A and B are shown apart, each in its own frame.
Chain A
Amino acid sequence: MPTELLLGVAVAGTFVLYSLFGGADFGGGVWDLLASGPRKAEQRALIARALGPVWEVNHVWLIVGMVLLFSCFPRAFAALTVALHVPLTLLLLGIVFRGTAFTFRTYDARGDKVQERWGLVFSVASVISPLLLGMCVGAVVSGQIRVEGRAVVSGFFASWLTPFALAVGVLALCLFAFLAAVYLTAEADTEPLREDFRQRALGAGGAVFIAGLGVLLLAREGAPRIWGGLLHAPFALALHGVTAVAAVATFVLLWRRRFRQARVTAAVQAGFIVLGWAASQYPYLVVPDITLQSAAASPGVQRALVVALVVGLVTVVPSLVLLLRVFQSRSPRG
């Protein structure tokens, strides 16, 4: 495999992991906003308990993805930060308020009113951020961002304010909420709470299906190249096949209350949606003017980055496994 392709896979990999972990944390915020019924407070407490130890770690995948993008494909990073300056800035505000409000809610125990207010900031930011993230992705695949030489010539608004980009934003929001609901069924410690999130997971799964269909229909007009890639590249088709199988499996498992297995198939489903996106826009990083090859760093840098990647994997993976083992086991005192 050529080195730049390996690094491209690594960037896509960080996006997959960010969606599976960081995305689900945003989804947790969505369910915090939508908490309802007799167990409203318990739902929120479960979400807070699930996010507390891990949201910062999960968030790091985004930073790693950004760093890899500008180190491996600097010209693509420069073009994207110019063309998407406005939505990325808004996304940053969402990220800042989501993280700080969540932490402040935990440590600002002056009373229910104050905590409710922080909770509202946290949950609203959790809804806005995935929308914006999805809109940025939509802009990248749509082919609306045009680059001539090193200059972005397509303006600062038109590329991400399209129906297609908006549909991708909605899909991201639904997908993250779906993931969170499925994960929370497995985390819940009482039967009624588990049922609450089972219903939410089934509903969100339906929403993912509808939003996905919407994206597909709009892609024909809004992202013609991807429309072609989605339907014709055999590799991409295989990925979409896996997504479909995993989606059906998740639905069946949720229906039959096999929550631990449902968590796995839901993650596979979401991961393959993100991978399918990456594969269908290959070889473009920014459709249609910047490819993986044209934006790649020089070969010496690529080799150094592969070494850094290996160092990172060797350091981070065992630590992550440790973290998950500490917090997944149901300790008697936890």
Chain B
Amino acid sequence: MTDLLYARAQMGLSLAFHIVFAAAGVALPVLMVISDLKARRTGDADYRLLSQKLAKGTAILFAVGAVSGTVLSFELGLLWPEFMGQYGEVIGLPFSLEGVAFFTEAIFLGIYLYGRERTSPGLHLFSGVMVAVSGAASAFFVTLVNVFMNDPSGFTPTPAGPTNIEPLVAMFSPGWKYQTAHVLLSCYQASAFAMAGIHAFVLLRHPGSTFHRKALAVALPLACLTALLQPLVGDFLAKHAAEAQPVKLAAMEGHFETERGAPLRLGGLELPKGLSILAFGDPDAEVKGLNEFPREDWPPVAKVHVAFQLMVGAGSAMALLSVVTLVLRWRRREWPASRRMMRAWLLASPLGVLAMEAGWLVTEWGRQPWIIHGVMRTAEAVTPVPHLAAPFWTFTLVYLFLGVVVAFLLARQVAGTLPGRERDDAH
């Protein structure tokens, strides 16, 4: 492997790791506040326990997210100094605002987690809401940086670097609405599906546990809502990519030859004119194929295509399960509890995280060979520091270790709620 590849692998690994914790940091506070509200309204001890468990989960995941986020803010320079040296100022505004949002998230999380006995109930709840709001804001701002890298605007590129920089234009580069909405939804969706799956798993073993039934009922509405909204937002985003990054769209769809009325290829199936409709909302629209672009500007087509299919496949499965769940909910006036549905939710639980990681790979691989689309190539941005294999393997081992420990700690939090063991065992 070359040093460039090691640098990309290390950045990819760090983001793939961080993204899970960041998503949990955005979504779990929402679920925690919902449980808290229900506990206040009903006085039900189960909801109070649930909000405490979610708070502990948030504490563990946020701590790992905070340090892995720190790693990323340094790695921007450690791995891509040319990118940061020239374009750091162009993307500085959203990064700075993300810093502000992250700050308030950390502050109010501290108050929420440790201040239950020290603050009034109103201030405590307010802190929870602030955690949820700042988490969403920080995801919003940091996604704007990625939007800029995909479809840069707000400056004039020169060999010596950007000139005529307009920070606000750069911050809201085209397509920002769709990509930020897509990312925020994915955070809630991935977390809600993971949570629903955990409680479905316990319910399969202990069908009588009212705690887990209530917890499932907190996760399911968010899971179903996001799973149904996400395909719509994704469609808007794909239409934007068709205009702004036609080569990425072509790679996503494995579309090699430019044609009018292009079909949609799904595995071995071909839907006539499907791609033209999806990309441009017009059955006869011309969709540019990879043949239009010089070979050195192609992203790794096979990887982008497979990752895209994975994301769409997982998203479709989640949407389908959500439709079935909502229909059952509507007919029986309670959230479904059959073993078959519990198994389905258990199977679906990793799909949200899977789709999130796959979707992120689509946007990153799909932008290659550029770090800033059409402006700076990834190979130009990489650090001159040699032996990048060493930090890559170090961080790989560290993140593997941390992942195992976190999984173990979260499993213990869940185990503490099993029937017969309902006790507050840690902290």
The reply to whether B77 and A70 contact each other, CB–CB distance below 8 Å, is yes
Contact A63 B73 (CB under 8 A): yes
> Which A residues lie within 8 Å of B69 (CB)?
63
Residues A64 and B110 in contact, CB atoms below 8 Å apart = no
A70 touching B84, Cβ below 8 Å: yes
B281 contacts A by Cβ under 8 Å: no
Q: Does B312 contact A (CB under 8 A)?
A: no
Residue-wise interface mask of B (75-100) relative to A, using a CB-CB cutoff of 8 A (1 in contact, 0 not): 01110011011111111110111111
A63: shortest Cβ distance to chain B, in Å? 5
**Interchain nearest-CB distance for B415 vs A (Å):** 12
Could you say which of A54, A82, A108 contacts B384, with CB atoms under 8 Å apart?
A82
Instruction: Mark the stretch among B163-171, B294-302, B318-326 that contacts chain A.
Output: B163-171
Using a CB-CB cutoff of 8 Å, which residues 111-144 of chain B contact chain A?
A: 111, 113-115, 117-119, 130
Q: In the complex where A70-B92, A316-B103, A319-B107 touch, is A151 in contact with B384 (Cβ < 8 A)?
A: yes
Interchain CB contact under 8 A, B100 and A85: no
Contact A56 B88 (CB under 8 A): no
Note all chain A residues with C-beta closer than 8 A to B217: none
**A329–B120 alpha-carbon span in the complex (Å):** 14
A309 at the interface (CB under 8 A from B): yes
Q: Is A37 an interface residue (CB 8 A)?
A: no
**Which of the residues B109, B166, B402 comes within 8 Å of A300, measured between beta carbons?**
B166
Stretch from A95-103, A238-246, A254-262, A274-282 at the B interface:
A95-103
Name the segment of B28-36, B60-68, B356-364 touching the other chain.
B60-68
Q: Are A53 and B67 in contact (CB under 8 A)?
A: no
Contact A81-B383, Cβ < 8 Å, known A107-B59, A304-B93 = yes
Chain A residue contacts of B402, Cβ below 8 A: 96, 100
Query: In the assembled complex, which residues on chain B have CB atoms less than 8 Å from the CB atom of A209?
Result: none
| Nearest chain B CB to A228 CB, angstrom units | 29
Tell whether, in the assembled complex, residue A71 and residue B95 are in contact, meaning their CB atoms are under 8 Å apart.
Answer: yes
Which B-chain residue is minimally distant from A91 (CB atoms)? B74
Chain B nearest CB from A175 CB (Å) reads 21
Residues of A near B104 (CB, < 8 A) are 315-316, 319
- Enumerate chain B residues within 8 angstroms of A106, measured Cβ to Cβ: 59, 427
- A9 interfacial by beta-carbon distance below 8 Å: no
| Per-residue B-contact encoding for A297-319, CB less than 8 Å = 1, 0 else | 11011001100110110011001
Question: Is A333 interfacial (CB 8 A cutoff)?
Answer: yes
Q: Does any Cβ of B come within 8 Å of A89's Cβ?
A: yes
Q: Flag if B68 contacts A96 (CB, 8 Å).
A: yes
Interface size on A, residues (CB 8 A): 67
Residues of B within 8 A of A152 (CB): 384
Contact A312 B70 (CB under 8 A): no
Q: Does the CB pair B99–A56 fall under 8 Å?
A: no
Name the one of A63, A300, A329, A331 contacting B117, with C-beta atoms under 8 angstroms. A331
In the complex the two chains form, is A82's CB within 8 Å of B81's CB? yes
A193 to B106, CA, bound (A): 29
Chain B residues near A77 (CB-CB < 8 A): 77, 81, 84-85, 88
Q: B172 near A: Cβ within 8 Å? A: no
Determine, out of A159-167, A177-185, A212-220, A320-328, the stretch whose residues face the partner at the interface: A320-328
| Interchain CB contact (< 8 A) of A89 among B60, B78, B97 | B78
- CB neighbours (8 Å) of B384 from chain A are 82, 151-152
Whether the pair A53, B89 counts as a contact (CB closer than 8 A) is no
In the complex, A288 has a CB within 8 A of chain B:
no
Are A104 and B409 touching (Cβ within 8 A)? Answer: yes
Whether A71 contacts B92 by the Cβ 8 Å rule is: yes
Q: How many angstroms from the CA of A326 to the CA of B163 in the assembled complex?
A: 47
Which of A96, A104, A301 makes the CB contact (< 8 A) with B167? Answer: A301
CA distance A88 to B81 in the complex (A): 14
- Bound-state CA distance A188–B111 (Å) is 21
Q: Quote the shortest CB–CB distance from B207 to chain A (angstroms).
A: 29
- CB contacts (< 8 Å) of A68 on chain B: these are 96, 99
The answer to the question of B344 belonging to the interface, with a C-beta cut-off of 8 Å to chain A, is no
Instruction: Please report the C-alpha to C-alpha distance between residue A319 and residue B103 in the assembled complex, in whole angstroms.
Output: 9
Given the known A-B contacts A59-B66, A107-B426, A108-B409, are A81 and B81 also in contact in the complex, defined by CB atoms under 8 Å? Answer: yes
Interface centre among B166, B385, B394 (most CB of A within 10 A): B385
- For A56, what are the chain B residues with a Cβ–Cβ distance below 8 Å? 62-63, 66, 106, 109-110
Q: Is A45 an interface residue (CB 8 A)?
A: no
Known: A82-B384, A108-B409. A60 touches B95 (CB 8 A): no
- Docked-complex contact A74 and B383, CB < 8 angstroms: no
Asked if B391 CB lies within 8 Å of chain A CBs, one says yes
B47 at the A interface (CB under 8 A) = no
**B425 on the A face (CB < 8 A):** yes
Expressed in whole angstroms, the Cα–Cα distance for A107 and B424 within the complex equals 11
- Docked pose: A156 CA to B387 CA in angstroms: 11
Does B405 sit at the interface, judged by CB under 8 A? Answer: yes
Interface flag for B398 (CB, 8 Å)? yes
Q: Which one of A74, A82, A304, A322 lies within 8 Å of B111 (CB-CB)? A: A322
- A71–B90 alpha-carbon span in the complex (Å): 8
Task: Give chain B's interface residues, CB within 8 Å of chain A.
Answer: 56, 59-60, 62-64, 66-71, 73-74, 76-78, 81-82, 84-93, 95-100, 102-104, 106-111, 113-115, 117-119, 130, 163, 165-168, 383-385, 391, 394, 398, 402, 405, 409, 412-413, 425-427
A319-B107, A327-B115 known; 7 new pairs, CB 8 Å cut-off, are A67-B92, A71-B96, A92-B70, A109-B425, A150-B85, A300-B167, A319-B130
Sort A-B residue pairs by CB-CB distance and give the 5 closest, nearest first.
Answer: A71-B92, A78-B85, A81-B77, A74-B88, A297-B89
- CB pairs A–B below 8 angstroms (9 shown): A53-B113, A67-B92, A67-B99, A78-B85, A99-B63, A297-B165, A312-B97, A319-B130, A326-B111
